């Protein structure tokens, strides 16, 4: 029974140590291409609308602010960026 338990623990450690690698090509508005490691998601939190537009270009859709404090959404092809006032509070890749 003890050896069976050791095998289960060993399998669990082997599975837990498996690492998934994911990369994608990102195209910037200037036409530059970069290989991005999706495991190292850059944070956009705290950046201004001006900084985001400079980094990502003009969004596909700007959804007007709602609520108090005002929350605005900018939709891009691969992500949505959420702003409180003019600062990023969250972004979701899709």
Q: What tens digit of pLDDT does each residue of 45-77 get? A: 999 999 999 999 999 999 999 999 999 999 999
pTM greater than the 0.75 cutoff: no
Cis peptide before 54 (omega within 30 of 0): no
Contact 83, 71 (CB under 8 A): yes
- Per-residue pLDDT band for 94 (boundaries 50, 70, 90) equals confident
Q: What angle do CA 59, 65, 70 make, to 5 degrees?
A: 125
Per-residue model confidence as pLDDT tens digits over 31-50: 665 555 555 556 899 999 99
Tokens of 83: 């702003």
State yes or no: pLDDT of 29 exceeds 50: yes
One DSSP character per residue, 53-80 reads HHHH-S-SEEEEEETTTTEEEEE-SSEE
Residue with tokens 């005002």: 70
């Amino acid at each position: 029974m003890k050896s069976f338990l050791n095998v289960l623990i060993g399998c669990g450690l082997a599975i837990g140590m498996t690492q998934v690698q994911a990369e994608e090509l990102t195209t910037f508005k200037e036409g530059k291409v970069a290989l991005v490691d999706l495991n190292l998601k850059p944070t956009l939190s705290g950046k201004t609308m001006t900084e985001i537009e400079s980094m990502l270009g003009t969004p596909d859709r700007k959804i007007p602010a709602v609520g108090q404090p005002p929350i605005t959404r900018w939709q891009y092809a691969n992500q949505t960026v959420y702003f409180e006032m003019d600062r990023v509070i969250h972004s979701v890749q899709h």
